[in-house]
Homo-oligomer: A and B are copies of this chain.
Amino acid sequence: MTVMSRIACCQIALRVGESDANRGAALAAAAAAAADGATIVVLPELSASGYVFRDKAEARALAEPADGPTAAGWARLARQRGVTIVGGICELGDDGLLYNSALLVDPAGLRVCYRKVHLWDAEKLVFTPGSGPPPVVETSGTLLALLICYDLEFPEWVRLPALAGAQLLCVPANWPAQPHPVGERPMDVVRAQAAAAVNRMFIAVCDRVGSERGVDWVGGSVIIDPDGWPVAGPEPGDHELTVAAGCDLAVAADKMTSERNDVFADRRPDLYRALAGEGD
């Protein structure tokens, strides 16, 4: 029997420093997506705090523990609606350090907190990079993984949850806009397409919109199938919107691409291991 998951990426605008308003906007968008049938909702990176901090002190003032108010709001909605929610927060760790983290919350509550391992630009001035593996979580019979934004540009990192069985990789993002040729998709999307295709898994990226202290965002939220093709998004223009698609996530378990090819079985990990490190 085919069980369709309905995935929704709520591409909202955020205002740095206005955590309560941002939480409310994210929760409202997630609730609307759930009312529209979504079973898995992805929200942007740093969805409560905003992104462009003046300095570390401002980030610290906006930080919250993994099981803080953002997770609590998502957990209520998850229980009420039976949905799974993935999104980013500015995390104050038990160790007093700041992390750019993503949470997965389902009807059972906060399931996992992942700390971004590859930090982008000024994030390096604020956050401590994570050092844990990309988690893979079973929820409602599906295997979901999470990474954050720039993590997706490191194929070695994407490979880990894929090999661990992830059917859908959820990626909260804040993609800063960069120039790209007319008629082309942003390169962020192209890289995500290739990441989905080489691993034959679904990828759902939730980006944001709204200018923030001089930074514009791609607004490139997209849901990609295991062949690498977008099944929803990216939508042109800089709009708040939800991209959504019904996906049979079970097909991601099939890694065959020809009668004799399986993209995982065809790997040569013995060679990769023997040769890796030579260039590092």
Contact = CB atoms under 8 A, between A and B. Distances in A.
Interface of A: 117-122, 124, 129, 131, 133, 150, 153-160, 162-164, 180-181, 184, 187, 190-191, 193-195, 197-198, 227-229, 258-261, 263, 266-269, 271-273, 275-280
A133 B278 CA distance: 11
A198 B153 contact: yes
A153 B262 CA distance: 12
A159 to B, nearest CB: 7
Contacts of A133: 271, 275, 278
Given A121-B261, A187-B197, A156 B153 contact: no
Contact of A277 (B118, B180, B198, B269): B269
18 contacts: A121-B258, A121-B260, A122-B260, A129-B268, A150-B261, A150-B266, A153-B263, A154-B268, A155-B156, A156-B267, A157-B268, A157-B271, A157-B272, A160-B275, A163-B278, A190-B193, A191-B228, A276-B276
A154 B263 CA distance: 8
Contacts of A260: 121-122, 124
Contacts of A162: 279
Contacts of A198: 153-155, 191
Contacts of A263: 153
A147 to B, nearest CB: 13
A190 B272 CA distance: 23
Given A159-B156, A190-B197, A260-B122, A276 B268 contact: no
Given A156-B159, A187-B228, A191-B197, A269 B280 contact: yes
Contacts of A194: 190-191, 193-195
A259 B278 CA distance: 27
A225 to B, nearest CB: 11
A265 to B, nearest CB: 11
Contacts of A193: 187, 190, 194
A187 B227 contact: yes
B268 A117 contact: yes
A276 B269 contact: yes
Contacts of A278: 133, 160, 163-164
Contacts of A280: 163, 267, 269
B153 A155 contact: no
A260 B261 CA distance: 40
